[in-house]
């Protein structure tokens, strides 16, 4: 996936700031519309957030590091491992583009 990071994209500001605000982070899924409005996200960004479409968010300019944060914000970060709902949503989005780590690889 080619990703042209746009540092001015409102979604990047939202993710950066929300990760540092515990109350907003933990309640994000229930307040997503309100938060998107307060950050002035474009309609394309909002549509991608609602669909948890990290591929589209990447195309729109979300920083690659922030893409997994999107699934954690929406699906939660409890049991943050490869089997969590957030990890599975990310895996489903990128499929074969994800490189698996196998035991014994160094």
- Kindly list the domain boundaries of the chain, sorted by start residue: 10-95
Which tops the pLDDT comparison, 70 or 39? 39
Q: By C-alpha distance, which of 86, 52, 26 is closest to 11?
A: 52
Distance CA 19, CA 16 (A): 6
3 state SS for 42-81? CHHHHHHHHCCCHHHHHHHCCCHHHHHHHHHHHHCCCCCC
pLDDT at 76 over 70: no
Q: Write the DSSP symbol of residue 34.
A: H
80: which 2 tokens?
Answer: 């943050």
Handedness of CA 64, 4, 34, 92 (dihedral sign): negative
CB burial readout 32-63, b (16+ within 10 A) else e: beebbeebebeeebbebbeebbbbbbbebbbb
Q: pTM of the prediction? A: 0.73
Write out pLDDT tens, residues 2-58: 467 899 999 999 999 998 888 888 888 899 999 999 999 999 999 999 998 988 999
Six token digits for residue 49: 């957030």
- pLDDT at position 23, please? 84
Residue 92 has a pLDDT of 61
Give the integer Cα–Cα distance in Å for 47 and 22.
25
């Amino acid at each position: 996936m080619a990703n042209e990071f746009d540092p001015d994209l409102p979604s990047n500001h939202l993710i950066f700031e929300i990760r540092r605000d515990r109350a907003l982070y933990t309640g994000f899924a229930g307040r997503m519309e309100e938060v998107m409005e307060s950050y002035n996200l474009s309609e394309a960004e909002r549509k991608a957030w609602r669909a948890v479409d990290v591929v589209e968010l990447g195309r729109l300019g979300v920083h690659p590091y922030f893409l997994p944060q999107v699934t954690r914000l929406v699906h939660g970060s409890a049991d943050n491992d490869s089997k969590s709902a957030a990890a599975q949503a990310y895996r489903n989005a990128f499929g074969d583009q994800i490189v698996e780590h196998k035991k014994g690889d160094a």
